[in-house]
């Protein structure tokens, strides 16, 4: 994964996937088969794009039940965290209305996953179970956008915070491009992409 | 002949199944001439009882209703007679359903496919907002949580029962019973029940304690399902959480037992056993109007 590839992240409109790719008249993300079909369509687009950062756009989604949240958020993340993942990928869930927070939070807690979400107000949020250290480090990184490796000891003098930074990289809610010696917030990588 | 009580709700319809069982395959006449009130749970319970009676005798039972227009008219508005086609032979004239705007939150809707669940959610998204906000005093966003509850209870039919079911919902003024308005949701199926659904995966560890009660506790309290996937089993837990937030009642009747989260305003035990056998599952949810001191 080279840094240049981050210049072309893809945005996947889940509402459009639901209505278009699946050829359905459904307007809400309910039932597990619907969630599974949407997830498979997303996985296919991500894998074929060969870009590493994907925005999963939920702006058109008003209702998402727990079965769909499990498929479209939890299982999607797990698919790209597994050792047999089709490629390295990072996700930001965009256009997340307050009404979607509960199902997303519930499935992340159930599967012990972290996700970066961006609300309709544009602010990014870390969701899912995390330690105080992970919360602190993610917030610092989010505020700065990027931290060079040389700055890490200064920004995070305690080893527990540096360990938390490594953990966030592993859990794919922050990014350290190979060979670049820096850490990036996913929102910074998102840049001006809409 | 089975006499229907004057009021048919989620507690009084229990006796129907005992009497259907006692009919031992004889053709049944459901005498509803004294029926004066029937809620969503009474209606789907009656459909379930009629279906069991039909399957055991090989003939649709006869349903006789009073000459009074109000019960028949209400059953018609709720779509009962449409759902009852092939289940009952209705011996009294059936009022035609009005083609105008309905005051019904969700008519009795068969649940046989995932499309039915989408249909239910589309329907309540259009209708439930005003009732939840204006009648129950819930926040405007509650219509989303309400839709999710309906989606999850309907999926319970498809994924666990492996048999068709029905869902219905309506608002009522429980002026005598509670002094408040309520919305009632009822879902019933004649599938495998909780014990049947969970037996293969979980019965061994419970050994001789395994039965309807332990199966209901396993699913309702501990979120166990027959699926090995760790993402499963969240539906009922999340429904319970939301119903508690709204100070509501949720009960699940399956086999010979019923388990419930009982709010302070309702008088019922959290667990009942030794009931007449309900061959499937019925989920009943009562959401009360918000009062000022509610959180």
Q: Within chain A, what is the greatest distance between any pair of CA atoms?
A: 54
Cα–Cα nearest to A65, from A26, A38, A35: A35
- Specify whether the CB–CB gap between B220 and B236 falls below 8 A: yes
- Best of A18, A34, A65, A113 to disrupt the B interface by mutation (most B CBs within 10 Å)? A65
User: Are B144 and B233 within one domain?
Assistant: yes
Measured in degrees and rounded to the nearest 5, phi and psi for residue A146 equal -150, 140
Lowest mean pLDDT among A12-21, A104-113, A131-140: A12-21
What CATH number is given to the structural domain containing A44?
A: 1.10.10.10
Whether B145 and chain A come into contact, CB under 8 Å, resolves to yes
CA B209 to chain centre: 27
CA B195 to CA B209: how far, in whole Å? 12
User: Are B141 and B8 within one domain?
Assistant: no
pLDDT value for B293: 63
**pLDDT score of A34 more than 50:** yes
Q: What percent of chain B has pLDDT over 70?
A: 96
**pLDDT score of A47 more than 60:** yes
How far does the CA of residue B105 sit from the closest CA of chain A (Å)? 18
- Structural domain range at position B58: 1-93
- Structural domain range at position A146: 3-190
Whether B121 and chain A come into contact, CB under 8 Å, resolves to yes
Taking phi first (over 0 means left), then psi (-120 to 50 degrees means alpha), and beta for anything else, what does residue B279 get? beta
Cβ contact (<8 Å) for A31 and B231?
no
| Beta strand pairing call for B180-189 and B271-272 | unpaired
Overall domain count for chain B: 2
Whether A35 and chain B come into contact, CB under 8 Å, resolves to no
Tell me the pLDDT tens digit for each residue of A156-172: 999 999 999 999 999 99
Q: Which residue has the tokens 């009294």?
A: B92
Measured in degrees and rounded to the nearest 5, phi and psi for residue B145 equal -65, -35
**pLDDT score of A4 more than 60:** no
Whether A109 and chain B come into contact, CB under 8 Å, resolves to no
Looking at chain A, which residue has its C-alpha nearest residue B154? A31
pLDDT value for B265: 94
Ordered DSSP codes for B46-72: HHHHHHHHHHHHSSPPEEEE-S-HHHH
User: Are B89 and B179 within one domain?
Assistant: no
pLDDT value for A70: 96
Whether A31 and chain B come into contact, CB under 8 Å, resolves to yes
What CATH number is given to the structural domain containing B259?
A: 3.30.565.10
* Cβ neighbours around B294 below 10 Å, total: 12
pLDDT value for A138: 97
CA B106 to CA A45: how far, in whole Å? 38
Lowest mean pLDDT among A6-20, B88-102, B131-145: B88-102
Mean pLDDT across A5-13: 75
**pLDDT score of A36 more than 50:** yes
User: Are B170 and B225 within one domain?
Assistant: yes
pLDDT value for A192: 47
Task: Name A98's Cβ contacts closer than 8 Å, sequence gap at least 6.
Answer: A119, B141
Whether B235 and chain A come into contact, CB under 8 Å, resolves to yes
Whether B227 and chain A come into contact, CB under 8 Å, resolves to no
CB pairs under 8 A between A and B: 72
- Specify whether the CB–CB gap between B191 and B161 falls below 8 A: yes
**pLDDT score of A25 more than 50:** yes
Mean pLDDT across A101-107: 96
Taking phi first (over 0 means left), then psi (-120 to 50 degrees means alpha), and beta for anything else, what does residue A127 get? beta
- Specify whether the CB–CB gap between B128 and B146 falls below 8 A: yes
pLDDT value for B230: 80
- The domain boundary, picked from B93, B128, B154, lies at B93
Tell me the pLDDT tens digit for each residue of A48-85: 876 678 999 999 999 999 999 999 999 999 999 988 88
pLDDT value for A190: 65
Nearest to B234 among A30, A99, A110 (CB): A110
**pLDDT score of A183 more than 50:** yes
How far does the CA of residue B32 sit from the closest CA of chain A (Å)? 37
Nearest to B234 among A62, A64, A106 (CB): A106
Tell me the pLDDT tens digit for each residue of B172-185: 998 888 899 999 99
How far does the CA of residue A31 sit from the closest CA of chain B (Å)? 7
Overall domain count for chain A: 1
- CA B111, A104, A47: angle at the middle one, nearest 5? 95
3-state secondary structure of A33: helix
CA A147 to CA A168: how far, in whole Å? 14
User: Are B130 and B206 within one domain?
Assistant: yes
- Best of A24, A27, A32 to disrupt the B interface by mutation (most B CBs within 10 Å)? A32
Rg, chain B, Cα only? 18
CA B183 to CA B133: how far, in whole Å? 12
Q: Which helix (H) or strand (E) holds A94?
A: strand A90-96
**pLDDT score of A93 more than 70:** yes
pLDDT value for A193: 45
User: Are B64 and B19 within one domain?
Assistant: yes
User: Are B133 and B21 within one domain?
Assistant: no
Q: Which residues of B touch A37 (CB under 8 A)?
A: none
| Beta strand pairing call for B165-174 and B106-111 | antiparallel
Lowest mean pLDDT among A12-21, B41-50, B97-106: B97-106
End-to-end CA distance of chain A: give it in Å, rounded.
22
User: Are B191 and B285 within one domain?
Assistant: yes
Mean pLDDT across B35-59: 91
- Specify whether the CB–CB gap between B189 and B161 falls below 8 A: yes
Cβ contact (<8 Å) for A110 and B117?
no
Instruction: Indicate the angle between helix axes B114-130 and B142-156, nearest 10 degrees.
Output: 150
Structure tokens at A191: 């840049």
Q: Which residues of B touch A28 (CB under 8 A)?
A: 118, 121-122, 125, 147
- The domain boundary, picked from B56, B72, B93, lies at B93
Residue B168's beta-bridge partner residues? B186
User: Are B263 and B195 within one domain?
Assistant: yes
**pLDDT score of A2 more than 60:** no
Cβ contact (<8 Å) for B117 and A98?
no
User: Are B211 and B246 within one domain?
Assistant: yes
Tell me the pLDDT tens digit for each residue of B199-254: 888 888 888 899 999 999 999 998 888 887 887 878 899 999 999 999 999 999 99
Residue B98 in domain? no
User: Are B89 and B199 within one domain?
Assistant: no
Mean pLDDT across B53-62: 92
Cα–Cα nearest to A136, from A153, A114, A155, A115: A155
**pLDDT score of A9 more than 80:** yes
pLDDT value for B294: 57
CA A92 to CA A6: how far, in whole Å? 13
User: Are B114 and B207 within one domain?
Assistant: yes
**pLDDT score of A87 more than 90:** no
pLDDT value for B62: 94
CA B88 to CA B46: how far, in whole Å? 10
Structure tokens at B69: 């227009």
Cβ contact (<8 Å) for B235 and A102?
no
- The domain boundary, picked from B93, B124, B140, lies at B93
Residue B163 in domain? yes
pLDDT value for B157: 86
Whether B144 and chain A come into contact, CB under 8 Å, resolves to yes
**pLDDT score of B11 more than 80:** no
Q: What percent of chain B has pLDDT over 90?
A: 57
- Specify whether the CB–CB gap between A85 and A52 falls below 8 A: no
CA B280 to CA B190: how far, in whole Å? 4
Structure tokens at B37: 């009130």
CA separation, residue B14 to residues A107, B17, B20, B26 (Å): 36, 6, 11, 20
* Cβ neighbours around B95 below 10 Å, total: 14
Residue B99 in domain? no
CA B239 to CA A127: how far, in whole Å? 21
How far does the CA of residue A130 sit from the closest CA of chain B (Å)? 19
pLDDT value for A52: 77
Tell me the pLDDT tens digit for each residue of B79-137: 999 999 999 998 877 777 665 556 789 999 999 999 999 999 999 998 898 899 999 99
**pLDDT score of A5 more than 70:** no
């Amino acid at each position: 994964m080279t840094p240049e590839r981050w210049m072309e992240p893809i945005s996947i409109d889940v509402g459009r996937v639901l209505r278009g790719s699946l050829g359905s008249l459904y307007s809400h993300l309910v039932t597990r088969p619907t969630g599974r079909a949407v997830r498979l369509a997303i996985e296919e687009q991500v894998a074929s794009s060969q870009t590493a950062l994907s925005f999963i756009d939920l702006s058109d989604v008003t209702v998402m039940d727990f079965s769909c949240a499990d498929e479209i958020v939890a299982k999607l993340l797990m698919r790209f965290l597994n050792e047999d993942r089709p490629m390295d990928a990072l996700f930001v869930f965009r256009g997340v209305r307050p009404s979607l927070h509960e199902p997303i939070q519930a499935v992340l807690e159930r599967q012990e996953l972290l996700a970066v979400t961006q609300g309709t107000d544009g602010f990014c949020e870390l969701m899912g179970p995390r330690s105080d250290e992970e919360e602190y480090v993610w917030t610092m990184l989010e505020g700065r956008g990027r931290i060079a490796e040389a700055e890490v000891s200064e920004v995070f003098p305690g080893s527990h915070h540096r360990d938390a930074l490594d953990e966030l990289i592993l859990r794919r809610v922050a990014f350290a491009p190979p060979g670049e010696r820096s850490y990036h917030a996913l929102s910074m990588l998102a840049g001006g992409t809409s | 002949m089975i006499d229907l009580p004057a009021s048919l709700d989620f507690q009084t319809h229990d006796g129907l199944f005992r009497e259907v069982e006692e009919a031992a395959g004889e053709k049944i006449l459901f005498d509803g001439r004294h029926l004066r009130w029937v809620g969503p749970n009474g209606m789907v319970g009656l459909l379930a009882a009629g279906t069991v009676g039909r399957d055991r005798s090989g003939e649709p039972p006869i349903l006789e209703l009073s000459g009074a227009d109000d019960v028949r008219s209400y059953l018609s508005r709720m779509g009962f007679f449409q759902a009852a086609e092939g289940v009952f032979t209705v011996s009294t004239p059936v009022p035609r359903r009005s083609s105008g705007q309905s005051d019904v939150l969700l008519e009795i809707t068969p649940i046989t496919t995932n499309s039915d669940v989408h249909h239910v959610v589309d329907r309540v998204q259009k209708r439930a907002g005003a009732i939840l906000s204006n009648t129950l005093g819930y926040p405007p966003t509650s219509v989303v949580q309400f839709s999710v509850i309906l989606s999850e209870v309907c999926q319970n039919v498809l994924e666990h029962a492996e048999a068709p079911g029905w869902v219905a919902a309506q608002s009522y003024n429980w002026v005598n019973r509670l002094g408040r308005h309520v919305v009632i949701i009822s879902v019933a199926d004649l599938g495998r029940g909780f014990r049947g659904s969970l037996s293969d995966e979980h019965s061994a560890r419970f050994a001789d304690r395994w039965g309807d009660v332990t199966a209901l506790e396993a699913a309702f309290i501990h979120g166990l399902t027959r699926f090995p996937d760790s993402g499963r089993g969240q539906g009922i837990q999340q429904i319970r959480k939301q119903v508690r937030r709204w100070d509501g009642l949720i009960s699940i009747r399956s086999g010979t037992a019923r388990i419930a989260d009982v709010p302070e305003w309702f008088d019922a035990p959290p667990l009942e056993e030794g009931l007449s056998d309900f061959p499937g599952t019925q989920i009943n949810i009562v959401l009360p109007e918000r009062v000022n001191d509610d959180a």
